[in-house]
Amino acid sequence: MTISRELFIRNRLGLHARAAIKLVELAQSFEAVITITNGANSATADGVMGLLMLDSAQGQKIIVSAEGQDAQSALIAVANLIEAGFDEDN
């Protein structure tokens, strides 16, 4: 079963390299496949390059989906990271 949540990119620089690395490292700690969707484009959160290709800027709406054993925990953790602006000074 796949669960999803709609979020907004809050940090000033959007989903850039440092933020993508944080997201990938977090995603790898769960037994779940996490997918980020921005408009018509999607990427799994297991690779930095795919996330950077989404070109997600501040204020953009994204959909975070998770599927697998830890889907619920993974979705909550990823949502918290994104909503916290990837722990960057906004």
d(CA 90, CA 78): 18
Residue 42: phi, psi to the nearest 5?
A: -135, 155
Q: How far apart are CA 30 and CA 3, in angstroms?
A: 15
**pLDDT at 52 exceeding the cut of 60:** yes
- pLDDT, residue 90, reads 53
The residues assigned a catalytic role are 16
Query: Per residue in 1-41, pLDDT tens?
Result: 999 999 999 999 999 999 999 999 999 999 999 999 999 99
Which domains occur in the chain, in start order? 2-87 (3.30.1340.10)
- Average pLDDT over the chain, rounded to an integer: 96
Phi, psi of 82 (to 5 degrees): -65, -45
pTM (predicted TM-score): 0.94
